[in-house]
Chains A and B, each alone.
Chain A
């Protein structure tokens, strides 16, 4: 702390992650680095040997020329599944923050930055998941050079670019005042923070200007956020050639699924930080209850849309669509489908709905477990959207898709990298806005 500068107890508490670093932190980061190293090795293997090292090609009942691609196997596999998952996680991040600003929900300001950073780390992981899936990432410049406006994948790139750039700018502007304060509070990093604050003076006029700009940016970001996940759904929903995808409901279904995913992730983060740094007085039970309320409501809407989609597909569906359903309900993927329904959705729904019927039994820890289960279930839900349809082209069913260790290691690598990036942010900047103390 700078000589002569006194921090309040709350400020000191918020700045704990920046001021104190225990042995556990280094062990944690060390483990993450080793896991990231393993991921890099696996990606190198895939690049040097080709996608043959993945389980995306199928060896069942097909001549050699059909062993990879749309005729056999699942050419998108867990890479595209994880792409949708990360986009979903990124969704609520900035949405929560923007809602806090637009609706003046001061109570939730404590989780706003946690949510913003979540978006910032999730979006690059989503983009990377696509890079893993393409056979020739050395041709990525073709996107910028020859990209076709009719291709939903290009819409994806446009939407993700807009969302990512908007998030960086939004986060920087909301952080700038705090960075200036950090230069005072942590003198050993003064040089770094002073330059990053870029001549911020903290006058009333400047604060007002930032407030107004952030408000307008929030207004712009909310529709961008809806666009991003809608566009992801169009990659599937516009494709008539694949059973189970061609649906008008897909855009809203994806957007709501993403909100469930993102809100659950923000709850998980809020609970972890509260537990780790004893922030019970900052992230109060009321705040967690509020997030749970939102999570419960969007989960109900999601489940309603999901049931509507399944019913429409199965009541008078084409033979290929019925085959996709059979794959899930009683076929090869039933062992993951039913646990997803029962453990993944029904159990969290009961946990989240319980406080509605029985008062005063809100349990933050149990809700945290529910939020984690929900995100695992939502990953599986995306898998059940991507893979069974690819394995069931209109004419005949094909093999089975089982991801290889290489694929799983690459995908889990995105999780380790995301955690590393998040941890790096937490060590450099306050994860709770400093003016929460003033409020």
Chain B
């Protein structure tokens, strides 16, 4: 059962990574690195899908060792914690920046 769960988590992570990278690449076919406004390029949030995919695929190690509920708690902590870093930095600096 644990092996199946680990495999499922690994595959989900892989799927997210492939989806994120594909959207990222397909959404931004230009090879010009500079001089194009950021907002006009790329598939929105594709990098985030890829980053979450990385976290999920690595969490397969936790799925292989922890009880399911504990695994979910860890996964939630990693994903929410990762996003929280951005949220905190953006919120705090938005308040301070003139």
Contact = CB atoms under 8 A, between A and B. Distances in A.
A161 B65 contact: no
A425 interface: no
Contacts of A161: 51, 54-55, 82
Given A140-B90, A148-B38, A217 B51 contact: no
Contacts of A142: 38
Interface string A125-159: 00000010000111111111111111100100110
A198 B25 contact: no
Contacts of B2: 209
Nearest to A210: B65
A73 B83 CA distance: 34
Contacts of A19: none
Nearest to B31: A150
A169 interface: yes
B21 interface: yes
B33 interface: yes
B54 A158 contact: yes
Contacts of A141: 86, 90
A149 B67 contact: no
A140 B42 contact: no
Contact of A131 (B51, B65, B89): B89
A173 B78 contact: no
Interface residues of A, number: 44
A217 B70 CA distance: 19
Given A138-B94, A169-B58, A147 B65 contact: no
A148 B96 contact: no
Contacts of A50: 98
Contact of A198 (B41, B70, B89): B70
Contact of B33 (A148, A158, A209): A148
B93 A137 contact: yes
Contact of A165 (B21, B38, B44, B58): B58
A149 B86 contact: no
A48 B58 CA distance: 38
Interface in A151-188: 151, 154, 157-158, 161-162, 165-166, 168-170, 172-173, 176
Contacts of B21: 149
Nearest to A150: B33
A145 B96 contact: no
B28 A165 contact: no
A44 B58 contact: no
B78 A168 contact: yes
Contacts of A280: none
Interface in B42-60: 42, 44-48, 50-51, 54-55, 58-59
Given A198-B70, A213-B65, A146 B94 contact: no
B93 A145 contact: no
A147 B47 contact: yes
A374 to B, nearest CB: 31
A131 B94 CA distance: 13
Contacts of A172: 62, 74
Contact of B61 (A143, A162, A199, A216): A216
Given A140-B90, A158-B47, A206-B65, 12 more contacts: A47-B97, A138-B94, A145-B48, A148-B41, A148-B42, A157-B47, A158-B54, A161-B51, A162-B54, A166-B58, A169-B61, A198-B66
10 closest A-B pairs by CB: A147-B47, A198-B70, A138-B94, A144-B48, A47-B96, A137-B93, A146-B38, A138-B93, A149-B24, A150-B33
20 contacts: A44-B96, A48-B97, A136-B93, A137-B89, A137-B93, A140-B86, A147-B42, A149-B25, A157-B47, A158-B54, A161-B55, A162-B54, A165-B55, A165-B59, A165-B82, A169-B62, A169-B78, A172-B62, A209-B65, A220-B58
Interface of B: 2, 21, 24-25, 28, 31, 33, 38-39, 41-42, 44-48, 50-51, 54-55, 58-59, 61-62, 64-67, 70, 74, 78, 82, 86, 89-90, 93-94, 96-98
Interface of A: 44, 47-48, 50, 131, 136-151, 154, 157-158, 161-162, 165-166, 168-170, 172-173, 176, 198-199, 206, 209-210, 213-214, 216-217, 220
